Amino acid sequence: MPLKKVGVIGAGQMGNGISHVCSLAGYNVVVHDAVEERLEAALATVTGNMNRQVGSGKITEADRDAALGRIETSAKMDDLSDCDLVVESATEDEAVKRKIFSALCPVLKPEAIIGTNTSSISITRLASSTDRPEQFIGIHFMNPVPVMELVELVRGIATEDNTYELSKAFAESLEKKVAVAEDFPAFMVNRILLPMINEAIYTLYEGVGTVEAIDTAMKLGAHHPMGPLQLADFIGLDTCLSIMQVLYDGLADTKYRPCPLLVKYVEAGWLGRKTNRGFYDYRGEIPVPTR
């Protein structure tokens, strides 16, 4: 059966983006978060982003109004009971995700698929904490979801072909390109991207270059649209650290050791854009390097 109703768990940056693209593609969407204020903020964010798309001519006002009409928010897990697919998009913490799945599984209908937007954690291990490992799959969207074209699909050891085929069709219906990754720590994109960011932080830590010099070097020297330290702030330094720790623990190779400076920034609560300070200070009109 085709998927018609999609649940999204987590009203953060990724959850907002997933809800945005699903509703525009014609799916009825239920956004769940335990905190009502986050749900209100999420709806405001999605509305603002769709308004920008209207302004740039990418969608019409009618498209926006219809899509927003397909989104409902709920602080109750029970309201996901009639969803065909639920995509978990909570913080990159395995204990948090397992707790969510233990609460989710009893309310889902038997045929429902569970997808996780984890960017690094084992799909097989997460699936084992549910009552339906055969219907569990990694559906890893890139940030920002409405802009980025890729979805990484990751099968666990138990994921059935039907689950994969339905998930692939779902991603393609959102006008995303699918890349299939094996279930290894951090999959493909982040296994390549995060060590590059970590190395940029080591380059700063060892005094090879300043924040500004490192970002300028990679933007102009490698033609990256965003410098690696600016990108780290955009991703969230806590998320960067979590992914590097998964790589380091899972592959036991010292090349994945998180840079001590990254650890220090996270300990300070300087997590990047979302806290207004990271490798740049965002509290003024123009971001200023913090080192």
pLDDT in tens, 2-58: 899 999 999 999 999 999 999 999 999 999 999 999 999 999 999 999 999 999 999
In this model, does residue 75 exceed pLDDT 80? yes
Query: Do 281 and 290 meet the contact criterion of CB atoms below 8 Å apart?
Result: yes
Arithmetic mean of pLDDT, 173-177: 97
Residue-level pLDDT at 2: 80
| Cα gap 282→291, rounded to integer Å | 13
In this model, does residue 234 exceed pLDDT 90? yes
Query: Do 25 and 175 meet the contact criterion of CB atoms below 8 Å apart?
Result: yes
Give me the helices (H) in the chain, please: 13-24, 36-55, 61-69, 94-104, 123-127, 161-173, 189-205, 211-221, 228-235, 237-251, 260-267
| Cα gap 11→279, rounded to integer Å | 25
Residue 115's H or E segment, with its range, is strand 113-116
- Which of these is catalytic: 16, 20, 32, 140? 140
Domain with CATH 3.40.50.720 in the chain: 5-181
In this model, does residue 1 exceed pLDDT 80? no
Arithmetic mean of pLDDT, 109-131: 96
Give Cα 241 to chain centroid, integer Å. Answer: 15
% the chain with pLDDT above 70 = 100
Q: Does residue 119 carry a catalytic annotation?
A: yes
- Name the pTM for this structure: 0.91
* Architecture of the domain spanning 190-289: Orthogonal Bundle (1.10)
Residue-level pLDDT at 277: 98
In this model, does residue 188 exceed pLDDT 80? yes
Of 1 and 139, more confident: 139
- Which of these is catalytic: 167, 190, 198, 242? 190
Backbone φ and ψ of 150, nearest 5°: -100, 145
Q: Give me the residues paired with residue 256 across strands.
A: none
Arithmetic mean of pLDDT, 227-243: 96
Q: Does residue 74 carry a catalytic annotation?
A: no
Arithmetic mean of pLDDT, 130-145: 96
Domain with CATH 1.10.1040.10 in the chain: 190-289
Average pLDDT, the chain: 96
- Which of these is catalytic: 23, 89, 117, 119? 119
Q: Does residue 40 carry a catalytic annotation?
A: no
Give Cα 210 to chain centroid, integer Å. Answer: 29
Arithmetic mean of pLDDT, 122-147: 96
* Architecture of the domain spanning 5-181: 3-Layer(aba) Sandwich (3.40)
In this model, does residue 264 exceed pLDDT 70? yes
